[in-house]
Structures are given as structure tokens and as C-alpha cells.
Amino acid sequence: MPLNSPLAGVRVAVALSGGMDSAVAAALLREQGPGVVGLHLRLAAGGPSPEHLEALARGLGIPWLELDLREEFSRLVLAYFASEYSRGRTPNPCVRCNAAVKFGRLRHLLQEAGVPYLATGHYARLLPGPDGILDLRRGRDRTKDQSYFLQRLDRKLLPRIIFPLGEMTKAEVRRRYLELRLPLADNYRESQELCFIPEGSYQDFLLKLKGSLGEPGDLVDAQGRVLGRHRGLEYYTVGQRRGLGVPAGEPYYVVEIRPEANQVVLGYKNELFSAGLRATGVNWLIDPPAVELTARAVIRYRHPGVMARIFPENSEEVRVIFEMPQAAVAPGQAVAFYQEDRLLGGGWIEDRLS
């Protein structure tokens, strides 16, 4: 999909979702000068109408283009999403999408078109580190911080990325949006993690996407004793308590999923806790460490994090030992590593350590 003449002379392309955050990001950049264009990525069915996007761009005083990346999104994100659930893992499509599509495929297209900078409405910051190289840091508004979802960005891209909202709070962004008198879409909702599932359950979405889900199997305890039957692996995630249908004196939780045996392992709350984890496919936003380091490990979005010792096994694999055991370490999820508000990198949780 070549991008040529429509982007001639453009300095900054803003990923324009149709919502409040990206619109304010575009407005802040437009105030600094011309050469700003809004790019809406059509990733799946639904989303804002062209009429809303046109009205939004007109209010911002910038041109806009729509890029149809549905094929790329389906291949790089939706196929991954479905595959992970069928393997009994818990995917994180936003982490995957940011790296593969928004800061991957889109950034490649912009580079081909000669557009030097890509901006988004993420609540994150880029600041020079002690060595002068840019660090990726948490947004000032910790309740909206989205740096966790950016852990797989290519470090070499950071000088070409702009996060205009990094120093703002959500309240300040909302107030600025109202001051600009920009239109809201009729069905406007705050951004959500599964943007491609506007309604219904993820199981309904998977069924529509794949045509069928996994076969029923056994619910077992850690010793392999059968406790009941499950509906299919896609209906269960590590840490789940509801919908298990197994009466007990104290609540059962999903503590493990064994796809090779088509089993879902249940246990009591104390069995949910892990001493650590092993992560693979690690992406570093610092010089890859060769020796042990101490950092805060965040094992899912909104997890407060826990201090941990991180042992590099090789350039893309680490062993993580928590300072205190953590509940619901889910294979397939993304783990991010922080020192204070500095994001060091992250990887995919492969398995938990007992």
C-alpha cells in the first residue's frame, strides 16, 4: 500500500482513532506548526464513520487519510489472538498490535513515504536517559499510563515517535477537547483493550472467526483427579474463578491449562501463587543486560508490579524471581520490567515457576 503524494511535505503523522486522546494529540502538534496529517487505521469492522473523522479533522484544521490495514491486522493480531487461546494461553493483542501494526507496518509505510515522525495518543513519555539515548517512561497520569502496551517497540524507532499526551492527565485532555469544541462520535466510548470486539464475549468472537472452538475435556486438580468437565480451553484463563461449575468448600480457581491433555487444572487460592516466571521473546529498550538486574515486574496491565530479580538466560529469554509470590501468572501474557518509571523492556510469559 504505497503512500506517496497525499503525504508530500508531511512532517508528523498522527494515528487518529476518532476518539478524544488522539484528537488532542493532533491539536497539540498542529499548534506547533504545519505539516501534520491524521491517519486513521481501519483495522476491523466497526469503528468511527468517515463522516465523524472528516468532521474531527476539519475541527483540528488538518488533512486526514484512512489506511485499510484489515488484512495485516487479521494476519498479525487476530490469528495470534485465536491461536493463543486454542493453546490454553492468555494473549495480549494490544501489545502485539502496537509492535506489529501501529509501530510496525504503519511506521514502515510512513518511512517509505518520507514522513519522519509518527505520533499517537498514548499516555507515555520519551525522555533522554543518562547516556543521552531516549528512554520510554510511564505517562505522568499513572491511572492512564499505557507504557506497558509499548514494551515491544523497536528501540531504534524511539527518536521518530512522539507522545504529546505524556505529561498530561486524562482530566486535562478531556478539558482541552471540550475547549476545542470537537465532535464526539455518536457511539463514543473510552478506548478499550479489545477494540475489535465492540460487543459480546471474546468466545463469541473466536467462534465467528474460527467457525468452531476446542473440544470439551476434564477439569482436574493438581494431582490429576477429575473434578468435572470443561467446555473447551478457550473458555478459561489462569486466575478465573467464575463459571467453573464445581462445588467446593472454598472457591476453585483456574491455576493451569494443559492443552496437550485438554485439561483445565483447578486449585484453591493459595495454589494460584508463583515464585517467579520464565519469559521468552524478550525485547529490550535498554542495552541488553548480560548479568542479573533488579526491576519491578508487571505481569499484566493494571498489575501494580513486584520487585524481582531478573536473570538473563540468553538475549531473548529471562528467568524472573519475585520478591513476593504473585497470583495468576498466565502463560501468553506480557511481562514488563521497570526501574522507577523507566520501561526497560518486556517479554512473553512462557511458564510460571513454583
Question: Which residues have a catalytic role annotated?
Answer: 97, 195
Coil, strand, or helix at residue 315?
coil
- The C-alpha atoms of residue 46 and residue 61 are separated, in whole angstroms, by 25
Residue 73's nearest CA partner among 110, 99, 108 is 99
Instruction: Give the C-alpha separation, 93 to 81, whole Å.
Output: 6
Instruction: Measure the CA dihedral 157/344/78/90, to 10°.
Output: 180
DSSP for 118-144 reads EE---SEEEEE-TTSSEEEEE-S-TTT
Angle at 257 between CA 256 and CA 261, to 5 degrees: 130
Query: Which residues pair with residue 228 across a beta bridge?
Result: 219
Which alpha helices (DSSP H) does 180-246 contain, by range? 202-210
Handedness of CA 164, 165, 167, 172 (dihedral sign): positive
Contacts of 257 (CB under 8 A, 6+ apart): 88, 89, 233, 236, 237, 238, 263, 264, 265, 331
Quote the DSSP letter at residue 83.
H
Asked whether 323 and 308 are in contact (CB, 8 A), the reply is yes
